[in-house]
Homo-oligomer: A and B are copies of this chain.
Amino acid sequence: MTRYQHLASLLAQRIEQGLYQNGERLPSVRALSLEHGVSISTVQQAYHLLEARQLISPRPRSGYFVASRKATPPVPELTRPAQRPVEITQWESVRELFNDGPENSAFNFGSGMPDVGQSTVKPLWKAMGRLCQRQDARVLTYDCMYGMPELREQVARLALDSGCLLTVDDIVITTGCQEALFTAVRAVCQPGDIVAVESPTFPGTMQILRGLGIKAIEIPTCAVTGISLDALELALEQWPVKAVLLVPTCNNPLGFTMPDKYKKELVILAQRFDLAIIEDDAYGELTYDYPRPRTIKSFDEDGRVLLCSSFSKSLAPGLRVGWIAPGRYLDRVVHTKYTGTGYTVSHTQLAVAEFIRQGHYQPHLRRMRMQYKCNLDVFTCWVRHYFPCGICVSRPQGGFLVWIELPESFDSLRLNCEVRKSGIQIAAGSLFSASGKYRNCLRLNYALPFTDEMGEGLRILGETVSRMMNVS
């Protein structure tokens, strides 16, 4: 981010937080230049950027004023999914969304891609390059079943930050978090079983259940504190649920982080009903607040939590490096891993281990957390500006995904068709439900640093939403 972009983002935040109110006059160019120790032209560039984004407007001879804006949209209410176990559908829509390569849309607001272009990633490229240069034989040969010991060591060290005491022998490296989740479900469930999930839930997880012939019971979920423990308890009393699978930290797609108190209560509930907990922590390292929240695993007393994570969101998905700490289910997980893919690719494992060992991972995380938080501020402004009234917007605590709820009758699948001509893609809410609920919602990705083109994309998106809302 250049200096003026940084300043613009800071000012956007202040506007968003109400420090500069509707219609209020902003500080003069000279005052800001003094306050931030930047040149006059930097401030001017920042103001031009904010003007282009329609956050502020100039008045001749009076300076810049906060543009008049709509009220902050509310957070979505507690979700109300079906109250019984259901079979998962939606495969065709998922395939359609995820089979497109990134090159096929100019603005892929629908993907789960992090920003992999920041300079803090450079040491990873170097680590990968060095392994090729010295023709490290380990790159080409079979790894051991559990994954490279040097990587497991680093993962164990990192897990301390989330309150987990793990040894290298507690960890199995996987092909991304997807394989971690897949092996976890296979380790604790049989076909025909029932798994409780948050509602909405990440489509990759839903499709795992579908593929294994497992039913999902979707539990009402609060966009601020996560899965409703009361509703979960009710479901557990009614149905023979085998496991609960959730994303309790920087949830995908709702963005909440479950408070520690609830995480602890969930473990007690799981003990009472003898339930396994599959915890997806793929976004956990990207919480905006530091230090990062604890995992449910850190409250686990008897090995019933299978903690799944990866470097896909915090570093880069193309590496396909994930991991699982499966507690008491270790042997079953190793069997599933071995039969599913044999081994995990060696090169990226070694490179990631080296990247962490050399101390590059924490600075990278700091950078990405800051970027995503800034992006969120700007993104929220834009959504408020371009989208019509009567919508709800989630308040992500980390990561780079926001959930927007439109009026009941809205059809986000149709929206996707409409905007695709303009090279825009969104993730329709219905993908996040077993039975195609949340068709009136969408998930948007705000990982990349903002550009005016992107603002233009959001404008088209917002205007299409408005048009569709007026028609329906």
Establish whether residues A140 and B317, one from each chain, have CB atoms under 8 Å apart when the complex forms.
yes
Task: Check A121 against B140 for contact (C-beta < 8 Å).
Answer: yes
Asked whether A320 lies within 8 Å of B344 as measured between CB atoms, the reply is yes
Known contacts A342-B176, A343-B176, A317 near B211 by CB under 8 Å: no
Residues of B within 8 A of A356 (CB): none
Is there an interface contact between A338 and B98, defined as CB atoms closer than 8 Å? yes
**How many positions in chain A have a CB within 8 Å of any CB in the partner chain?**
67
- Complex partner residue of A207 from B179, B338, B348, CB under 8 angstroms: B338
Residues of B close to A212: CB separation below 8 A = 339
A117–B137 contact, CB under 8 A?
yes
Q: A175-B175, A320-B345 are in contact. List 5 more A-B contacts (CB 8 A).
A: A94-B338, A122-B135, A175-B345, A207-B339, A340-B340
Mark the stretch among A78-86, A141-149, A256-264 that contacts chain B: A141-149
Partner of A129, one of B129, B142, B191: B129
The answer to the question of A100 belonging to the interface, with a C-beta cut-off of 8 Å to chain B, is: yes
Contacts A178-B342, A186-B211; A102 near B334 (Cβ below 8 A): no
Q: Report the bound CA distance from A335 to B99 in whole Å.
A: 11
Whether the pair A116, B140 counts as a contact (CB closer than 8 A) is yes
Interface residue ranges of A182-236 to B (CB < 8 Å):
182, 186, 190-191, 204, 207-208, 210-212
Q: Is A165 positioned at the interface, with any CB of B under 8 Å from its CB?
A: no
Residue A318 at the B interface, CB < 8 A? yes
B339 and A210 form a contact (CB under 8 A): yes
Q: Does A125 count as interface, using CB distance less than 8 angstroms?
A: yes
* B211 adjacent to A335 (CB under 8 Å): yes
Bound-complex Cα distance A129 to B134 (A): 10
**Interface contact B335-A347, CB-CB below 8 Å:** no
Supply 18 A–B pairs (Cβ within 8 Å), ascending by A. Answer: A99-B144, A116-B140, A125-B132, A126-B132, A128-B139, A128-B347, A129-B129, A140-B319, A141-B318, A176-B343, A190-B191, A204-B339, A207-B335, A207-B338, A318-B343, A318-B347, A320-B343, A341-B341
Q: How far does the alpha carbon of A218 sit from the alpha carbon of B142 in the complex, in Å?
A: 28
Q: A375 vs B344: C-alpha distance in the bound complex, in angstroms?
A: 29
A336–B191 CA distance with the chains assembled, in angstroms: 15
Q: Which B residues lie within 8 Å of A100 (CB)? A: 144
Whether the pair B338, A95 counts as a contact (CB closer than 8 A) is: yes
Query: Is A470 located at the chain interface by the 8 A CB criterion?
Result: no
**A57 near B: Cβ within 8 Å?**
no
Contacts of A307-364 to chain B: CB distance below 8 A: 316-320, 334-336, 338-348
- Determine whether A238 belongs to the interface, using a CB cutoff of 8 Å to chain B: no
- When C-beta atoms are compared, the residue in chain B nearest to A336 turns out to be B211
Q: Is A60 an interface residue (CB 8 A)?
A: no
Residues on B with C-beta less than 8 A from A343 are 176, 178, 317-318, 320
The reply on A431 being an interface residue by CB < 8 A is no
Given A125-B132, A125-B135, A132-B129, decide whether A204 and B342 contact each other with a Cβ distance below 8 A: yes
Contacts A125-B135, A341-B341 given; indicate if A318 touches B142 (C-beta within 8 A): yes
